[in-house]
Amino acid sequence: MAGKYFEELEVGMKFKHSAGRTVTEMDNVLFSSLTMNTQPLHVNEDFAANTEFGQRIVNGIFTLGLVVGLTVSELSEGTIIANLSYDKVNHPNPTFHNDTIYAETEVLEKRESKSRANAGIIKFKHTGKKSDGTIVIEFERTAMFLKQGQRLDFLPKPKGHSFDL
């Protein structure tokens, strides 16, 4: 398990994640289709060619999910209980087919969980960049992390399965 436990994350820590991912036309069209997003900017080349972008742009929710995914192996693989919120999502530049995206993370806040003694709450700022450094997405994410010595399969089931924010 490569993820970090609550105690291993400190405010101010920064991660430049090693994995990158090249976004394909199939990624964009399939994701847009699976999510019922018929926006022609994503799925209609003829339409998109006549916009200011001159081509289709990648679905922004795909870009958000990709950037979170690029962080998993180094931050949360096997150590996260749940994502609690996504905030301040900004797309300053579009992602296009064949762009390679990389992720960077900064730990913004850290506190003990109010509802679970075996967990803590971490707030991150994630940034997704193209290989030339152009920022395509920035957002904050709050997640509940396990404390050291705890395992997901042994967590007590809270009544109502709610999480504290």
Answer yes or no: is 43 within a domain.
Answer: yes
10-residue mean pLDDT series, the chain (165 residues): 89 96 97 96 96 97 98 94 96 98 98 92 98 98 91 59 60
pLDDT on residue 2: 82
> Considering its fold, how many domains does the chain have in total?
1
Tokens of 41: 């900017």
Question: Which residue in this structure is represented by tokens 């105690």?
Answer: 7
- Residue numbers of the domain that contains 101: 6-152
CATH number at residue 138: 3.10.129.10
Radius of gyration of the chain (CA): 18
Answer yes or no: is 165 within a domain.
Answer: no
Answer yes or no: is 128 within a domain.
Answer: yes
Cα distance between residue 84 and residue 144, in whole Å: 7
